[in-house]
Amino acid sequence: MSVNSKLYEGKAKILYATDDPEVLLADFKDDATAFNAQKRGSIIGKGKINCSISSQLFQQLELRGIKTHFIDSPAPHQMRVRAVKIFPLEVVVRNIAAGSLSQQTKLPVGTLLKQPLVEFYYKNDELGDPLLTRDRLLLLELATPEQVDTITNLALQVNQFLQDFWQQCGITLVDFKLEFGLDSQQQLLLADEISPDTCRLWNTAEADPNLRVMDKDRFRRDLGNVEDAYQEVLQRVLQAVASKN
């Protein structure tokens, strides 16, 4: 596979074209940003860790019939993916109140939700990724009503799998963000990544609200030991996958 020009550089990944127009190469970076890139830093080893965790999770999801953009991982920090046109939506699924949900509603952090909450945010840095209503999403023609329904169903299926998977890792899945896209045949695929950058993950055996955090909140909130937490998540993922085979 020959790698061609850089197509796009985001906050956490660089996308390269390949000799096949249907295939892109995603290079995961150690760079970390938070609060709409107002806070910047780097988490040593994050690129490899997030690429490895995402690769494992995408493969597990594929085994369960969920179509993703994942093709393979030619190097620990690189993933070959199907080229998709990304919906400008951040699809957030929540099982436990935290983050912006708690800040905006006063629902105490840690409140168990009676059923998973699926939310859509407008992927737009200039606007600060605002929360969308379904009607606003349709008004802006960010997706069709059928696509919104399909994405909602897929997000709930992914949540069912992930809740179970992270539980096997001794990790409680609080919330996470997904992105979806359409390939050249208009197939709707799960895209982007699933990692401690995009999920809130709490060590189930740990009650202390700071010590239990195993995700990017350690970076956001300056809790320390960020690298160790990411590494620990990867080890648990690899163990859980190995025990399935």
Using rule CB under 6 A, residue 177 touches ligand UDP: yes
Q: Which of residues 118-147 bind ligand UDP (CB under 6 A)?
A: 129
Q: Is 100 an interacting residue with respect to ligand UDP (CB under 6 A)?
A: yes
For residue 147, give Cα distances in angstroms to 44, 46, 93, 117, 141: 37, 32, 17, 18, 11
Q: How far apart are CA 6 and CA 26, in angstroms?
A: 10
Whichever of 77 and 196 has its CB closer to ligand UDP, that residue is 196
Both tokens assigned to 225:
């030991």
Is 200 a binding residue for ligand UDP by CB under 6 A? The answer is yes
Of 28, 25, 27, 29, which is closest to residue 81 (Cα–Cα)? 25
Range in contact with ligand UDP (rule: CB under 6 A) among 54-62, 146-154, 197-205, 228-236: 197-205
DSSP 125: G
Of 100 and 147, CB closest to ligand UDP: 100
Kindly tell me which of 18 and 161 has the beta carbon lying closer to ligand UDP. Answer: 161
* Distance in Å, CB of 231 to ligand UDP, minimum: 18
Q: Does 89 bind ligand UDP (CB under 6 A)?
A: no
H or E stretch including 24? strand 23-28
Q: Which residue from 24, 171, 173, 199 is in contact with ligand UDP, where contact means CB under 6 A?
A: 199
- The Cα–Cα gap between 72 and 80 comes to 5
- Scanning the structure block, which residue is given the tokens 């840095």? 125
Least separation in angstroms between CB 163 and ligand UDP: 13
How many helices (H) and strands (E) the chain has is answered by 6, 14
The 3-state DSSP class for residue 95 equals: strand
Among the listed residues 90, 120, 166, 214, the single contact to ligand UDP using CB under 6 A: 90
State the residue number with the nearest CB to ligand UDP. 99
Residue 210 and residue 172 in contact, taking contact as beta carbons nearer than 8 Å: no
Under rule CB under 6 A, residue 80 binds ligand UDP: no
Size of the site for ligand UDP (CB under 6 A): 13
Separation of CA 100 from chain center: 16
Is residue 216 within the footprint of ligand UDP (CB under 6 A)?
yes
Please tell me whether residue 97 binds ligand UDP under the rule CB under 6 A.
no
Does 175 engage in binding with ligand UDP (CB under 6 A)? yes
Q: Which of 103/235 has CB closer to ligand UDP?
A: 103
DSSP letters, 25-53, are EEEE-SEEEETTTTEEEE-TTHHHHHHHH
Residue numbers of the site for ligand UDP (CB under 6 A)?
90, 92, 99-101, 129, 175-177, 198-200, 216
